[in-house]
Every structure is written in C-alpha cells, then in structure tokens.
Structure 1
Amino acid sequence: MRTPAETMTAYFDGWRRHDAESLREVLADDVVFDGPMGHVEGVDDNVAALHGLLGIVRDVEIRHVFVDGPDVCTVYDLHTSATDTPLPTVNLAHVVDGRARTIRAIFDPRPLLGT
C-alpha cells in the first residue's frame, strides 16, 4: 500500500503524463474535490473533470510537499496553455488506505477566467 506521500506523488505523476485514467488507482471511489473552479464527487466524475483539465496542463512544478500523517499539502506551480504565467497552487489531500479521499485546491482563478 502506498504512503500518503507516495499516493500524491503518483497523482501528480499522472497529471504530468496527461493520464487521467491512471488516477483511478490513487483516488478513493468516494473522493471529493473542492476548488475555485468547482466541486466534484466520486472517482468517475473526478476522472472526467481531470480529462478536461489535463487538456490545458503543460507542467506541474512541485515546490514543496508537507506530510502530516494522512494529510498531504503539495505546493506547486501549474503551467497551462490558458495562462502566460504559472498558477501558484496549494493542494490539500487526505489519504486513506493509499487513496485520496478528499482533495482541495487553492489558487487564484482570475488568470484562467481572463479577469
């Protein structure tokens, strides 16, 4: 079984490969995502949403990873085709039995919205 840090490393590795389907291995069936652009529940809907997001992702540049038991905080720069500069982002995940149960992304969405 993966540690929480290994789970989230595999999660972001899937992003880098543009492989949303591989994320099923690290997301709990009842995973809940919350972020500035929306709320998504369940593994199928999360994978579908990630298919859309990964269409604009160029790179994920990890800056720091903090682990506190089952909780993982990943600070990264999200490089996208929709923005000229990377989006500084914080991802807070709670991992149970090697799978992310909750994920919360925190970033300023204005560059994606054109405002």
Structure 2
Amino acid sequence: MTRTKTARELAETYFTAWEEGDFEVLRGLLAEDVDFVGALGTASGVEEALAGLRGLGRVLEKIDVKVRVAEGDEVITWFELHTSVAPPAPTANWMHVEDGKVTRIRVTFDPRGLLAGFERRN
C-alpha cells in the first residue's frame, strides 16, 4: 500500500524537483486543476503551472529554504530564490493540499530584481 505524502513532504519534494529541473516529478505532485497566483503571474491547471515553473527554472540556480511550517493540509515555505539574473529574492510560498496533490499555490516576493534582470537579458 502506498502512503500519501503529507503537505510538508509534498512541499519538500516540490522544491527539490523544481531546483533539479525534474518536471515529471513536479507534474505528479500537482492536481490537474492546480491554481497558482504569484508576483510574476497566474496559472490555471497543471500545464500552465508547469510552464511557469519551467520559465523561471531557466534562470533558477538555487532555492535556499530558511523555514517550512506545515499545519494539516497547509504549508508555507520561506526561502531565498537565487537566480542567474538577480540578487537573491526572499520569497514566501503557501500551498494547499487535497487528496495528496497540491491544489493551490500563492507566492509573494518583490519581483523588481527579477524583472530588471530579465530586461537586461533581452
């Protein structure tokens, strides 16, 4: 029998997979109708969410987790987002889990450094 991962375990796996560029693992963690809202955009459904993660993944260098707090089906991860185009961005990520899948994600950080970095690249 397969044990369902806790919200905390799902968040740990999510961030490890994203940092490693393992989008098949990420796909398995997200509900088909996952809803994402963040500082750089929104995504409805697993394909849009993966596209957003891939996009930022192109410049992602490291995710430095500072703390993760979980209570039931909710988990918040506080981390520094290290990219090749901007200084580290302190970031908060909230996830809601239902039936062993991430159904909602909200992310907040100051996007100015990343936006300026993307502008310099273009």
In the superposition, the TM-score normalised over structure 1's length comes to 0.95
Identity of aligned pairs, percent? 39
Match of 2:98 in 1: 96
Structure 2 unaligned blocks of 5 or more: 118-122
Q: CA RMSD in A?
A: 1.2
After TM superposition, where is structure 1 displaced by more than 2 Å over at least 4 residues in a row?
A: none
Whole-angstrom CA distance in 2 between matches of 1:53 and 1:20: 12
Whole-angstrom CA distance in 1 between matches of 2:100 and 2:46: 14
Whole-angstrom CA distance in 2 between matches of 1:19 and 1:104: 21
Aligned AA for 2:63?
V
| 1:44-101 residue CA offsets vs partner (Å, 9 max, x unmatched) | 1111221111111000010000011100000000000111x21000000001111110
Q: How does 1:75-114 map to 2 (within 5 A)?
A: 75-83=78-86, 85-114=87-116
Between Structure 1 and Structure 2, the one with more helix by share is 2
In the superposition, the TM-score normalised over structure 2's length comes to 0.89
Q: Find out whether 1:48 has 2:38 as its counterpart.
A: no
Bigger radius of gyration? 2
Q: Alpha-carbon deviation of 1:20?
A: 2.2
